[in-house]
């Protein structure tokens, strides 16, 4: 015991300090690794979206382990965040296509991130952009128990909230963080729509901070286009529109 006390009173030498440093480094590394493994997905918990604190949200998890807030609006339950899965329901990988020429020529399902970003906060906040071929793919894009809404289901949502004009302020996120200084929306529905932009004509990216686009599962009679909904930075409507299936839009799913 005396010997041990003497050793403790001695000043640590360089080799001792080095050993202590190495132990602390590896201990800290293990803790960080454990934290990452516990958290699981780098996109979970990283969104900068501002949800309506006066409402009660549920949660759901997709086939890749992404966790989303959900909200009951009238007779429907919607995802309150944009889809960000990179795999179909059956586990098959959805191709990620960054090249513009390749994207424009696609007739099969694919996704991209706005300007091909890999920033986890951006993806957690705005989700990914999907072409309509991913929406209609037989491997099924939507998580189990959910589906990409038909145009008529968008109509149900909009009608419940007062129509194509009055529903806009109730759907868009409140505040200036994403929609800018002109935003007067109250997000009273809890839907928390964000201006995540799109991949539009000629396959260029546009509209981040100004526009939000969401596919429906309903194609138009010409078979080349499908119906979607959009919101812009200015007070507007959320009327149904149609566009070519190779566009990259966000996805909100509705519960079965």
Q: What is the pLDDT of residues 107-134, one digit of tens each?
A: 999 999 999 999 999 999 999 999 999 9
In this structure, what token pair is assigned to residue 200?
A: 């539009």
Q: What is the DSSP letter of 248?
A: B
The residue that leads in pLDDT, 5 or 142, is 142
Examine the pLDDT at 14 and tell me if it is beyond 90: no
To the nearest whole percent, how much of the chain has pLDDT over 90?
Answer: 77
Q: Which helix (H) or strand (E) holds 37?
A: helix 14-39
Examine the pLDDT at 20 and tell me if it is beyond 70: no
Residue-level pLDDT at 39: 52
Task: Say if CB 178 and CB 194 are below 8 A apart.
Answer: yes
Binning pLDDT at 50, 70 and 90, where does residue 36 land? very low
To the nearest whole percent, how much of the chain has pLDDT over 70?
Answer: 84
Most confident of 12-16, 37-41, 131-135: 131-135
Residue-level pLDDT at 40: 73
Residue-level pLDDT at 16: 41
| Lowest-pLDDT choice from 66-75, 122-131, 221-230 | 221-230
Alpha helix ranges (H) inside 105-252 = 120-126, 132-135, 151-160, 167-171
The span from the CA of 190 to the CA of 36, in Å, is 30
Examine the pLDDT at 167 and tell me if it is beyond 90: yes
Mean pLDDT of 224-244: 93
The span from the CA of 136 to the CA of 220, in Å, is 13
Alpha helix ranges (H) inside the chain = 2-9, 14-39, 100-104, 120-126, 132-135, 151-160, 167-171
Task: Write down the residue that tokens 């015991």 correspond to.
Answer: 1
The span from the CA of 242 to the CA of 226, in Å, is 5
**pTM of the model as a whole:** 0.84
């Amino acid at each position: 015991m005396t010997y041990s006390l003497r050793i403790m009173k001695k000043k640590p030498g360089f080799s001792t300090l080095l050993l202590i440093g190495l132990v602390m480094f590896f201990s800290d590394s293990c803790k960080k690794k454990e934290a990452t493994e516990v958290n699981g997905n780098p996109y979970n918990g990283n969104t900068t979206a501002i949800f309506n604190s006066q409402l009660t949200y549920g949660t759901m998890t997709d086939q890749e382990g992404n966790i989303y807030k959900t909200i009951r609006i009238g007779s429907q339950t919607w995802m309150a965040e944009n889809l960000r899965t990179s795999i179909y329901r059956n586990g098959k990988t959805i191709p990620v296509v960054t090249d513009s020429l390749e994207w424009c020529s696609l007739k099969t399902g694919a996704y991209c991130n706005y300007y091909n970003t890999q920033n986890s906060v951006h993806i957690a906040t705005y989700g990914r952009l999907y072409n309509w071929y991913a929406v209609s793919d037989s491997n099924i894009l939507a998580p189990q128990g959910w589906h990409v809404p038909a145009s008529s289901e968008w109509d149900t949502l909009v009608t419940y909230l007062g129509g194509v004009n009055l529903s806009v302020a109730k759907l868009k996120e409140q505040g200036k963080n994403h929609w800018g200084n002109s935003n007067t929306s109250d997000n009273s529905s809890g839907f928390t729509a964000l201006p995540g932009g799109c991949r539009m004509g000629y396959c260029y990216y546009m509209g981040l901070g100004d526009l939000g686009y969401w596919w429906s599962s309903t194609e138009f009679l010409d078979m080349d286009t499908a119906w979607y909904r959009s919101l812009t930075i200015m007070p507007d409507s959320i009327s149904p529109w149609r566009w070519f299936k190779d566009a990259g839009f966000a996805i909100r799913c509705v519960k079965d």
